[in-house]
Amino acid sequence: MQQLIDYIEQFVRLDSETVAKLIKLAEKETYTKKQHILQQGQRCNKIWFLTKGMVRKYYLSEGKEITIWIHTGNETFTSLQSYAQNMPAEEYLQACEDTEVISITRSNSEKLAHYPQIAAFVNAMMGREFANIDRHSRELSQRDARGKYEYLSKIAPEVVKRAKLGHIASLLGISQETLCRIRRG
Amino acid sequence: MQQLIDYIEQFVRLDSETVAKLIKLAEKETYTKKQHILQQGQRCNKIWFLTKGMVRKYYLSEGKEITIWIHTGNETFTSLQSYAQNMPAEEYLQACEDTEVISITRSNSEKLAHYPQIAAFVNAMMGREFANIDRHSRELSQRDARGKYEYLSKIAPEVVKRAKLGHIASLLGISQETLCRIRRG
DNA sequence: GCCATTTTTTGACATAGATCAAAGAAATCC
DNA sequence: GGATTTCTTTGATCTATGTCAAAAAATGGC
């Protein structure tokens, strides 16, 4: 839980009352390797914060898994489309290792939003996430296979270190054979 | 101005007081073809709503213009990174035709945010935009050249009709020769 | 510890799409 | 309205990367 508080305090200072409320409304969850945190078709009504392990976001396209992103630590994640617009999720969230997260439901999140520090944090965090997705998709769409891999290595070294080759290749939009050859040198 | 009000009312109902305030704090701007609305390096402190014309968002990479998106009507746009985090913009915003927009400065936007309908609108709109960017970058990264073009034709037919071939090709991340050949059939 | 399954590596081959160059069209400018 | 610049089209290569197939390595189950 301290990890989440530290993360939030990167953005805003928290007073003890707000911290107490947060602890009350957040829940710890654990998942084993390969377990799904969210399945396609479910309505996603939580935001998670990853404290340990690794989580992969992917969807199915013509039967094949397309990896969208891999989270490795101290990050929030959710199916934004589903959470924000209360629609069935298009993607899966799956633990790639034994994983621990802190979850906050939408209704608890709404309660917390009355605390101005939390509201400010959510705005700042969302703004940053938005900008990140924007930049990453831009960078990954412009570079060749090696450039994509180098970019990912720079911004997400843990992913490159811990995730499976096939998942990384899919995330980069290249074949795993090509990624293997890039790594060979 | 009515166009902006109609747009907002897709998301929330507005009462007459809120409308009056909005009209007071929003400004009309016009740009001629090729004129820049925002230059790289500037701090972007406005959100715009496009009422007429066409606006291209692009950045420079090794001296070459990379088109990020092209707006054709009844859409909001800004340099989100710059606006939200008060940083120098990485991208340019340029009118591709004679263009009319409605602008709202950050400070006026903050005043308007006290009106709950406006705050709700901004949240809903941001959520939708976020989900759109997310989906588009996913779709465009997975398809081959023809598939990318067909996807763009479906979601943004006006762009495909009115924008220059080279700009469309750049937006899709393909060469203009390839796009030309795709169009030929 | 051994067998089954999954993942990674390697090689051979095919091809979509990039690049280069030059001609043809269209837009823009006094 | 002719000249100049910009944009689009076409053709001829060239290359990065995908696909297929099969071996090697790693992982997991019991």
Helices in B26-115 by DSSP H: which ranges?
80-85, 106-112
Kindly list the residues from chain B whose CB atom is less than 8 angstroms away from the CB atom of residue A142. Answer: 61, 66, 173
Residues A32 and B158: their CA atoms lie apart, in Å, by: 48
For residue range A20-72, what is the model confidence (pLDDT) as tens digits? 999 999 999 999 999 999 999 999 999 999 999 999 999 998 889 999 999 99
- CB contact (8 A) between residue A138 and residue B84: no
Per the prediction, chain B carries an average pLDDT of 93
- CB of B79 within 8 A of CB of B38? yes
Residues A59 and B96: their CA atoms lie apart, in Å, by: 36
Examine the pLDDT at B139 and tell me if it is beyond 90: no
Give pLDDT, residue A145: 95
Domain residues of chain A, as ranges? 2-142
- CB contact (8 A) between residue A140 and residue B141: yes
Examine the pLDDT at B105 and tell me if it is beyond 90: yes
Contacts of B148 (CB under 8 A, 6+ apart): B139, B140, B172, B173, B174
Give pLDDT, residue B178: 97
Examine the pLDDT at B73 and tell me if it is beyond 90: no
Tell me which residue of B69, B171, A139 sits closest to B78, measured CA to CA: B69
- CB contact (8 A) between residue B127 and residue A85: yes
For residue range B146-183, what is the model confidence (pLDDT) as tens digits? 999 999 999 999 999 999 999 999 999 999 999 999 99
User: Which of B131, B140, B173 has its CB closest to that of A81?
Assistant: B131
B185/chain A closest Cα distance in angstroms? 25
- Provide the 8-state DSSP code for A67: E
A10/chain B closest Cα distance in angstroms? 14
- The CATH number given to A2-142 is 2.60.120.10
**B69: nearest CA partner in chain A:** A138
Contacts of B179 (CB under 8 A, 6+ apart): B145, B149, B165, B168, B169, B172
How many CB pairs lie under 8 A apart between chains A and B?
A: 56
For residue range A91-143, what is the model confidence (pLDDT) as tens digits? 999 999 999 999 999 999 999 988 889 988 888 888 888 888 888 888 888 89
B82/chain A closest Cα distance in angstroms? 9
Examine the pLDDT at B85 and tell me if it is beyond 90: no
Rounded to an integer, the average pLDDT of B135-143 is 86
Interface mutation vs chain A, best among B129, B137, B144, most A CBs within 10 Å:
B137
Q: Between residues A88 and B113, which one has the greater pLDDT?
A: A88
Give pLDDT, residue A53: 95
pLDDT category at A148 given cuts 50, 70, 90 is very high
Q: What is the CA radius of gyration of chain B?
A: 17
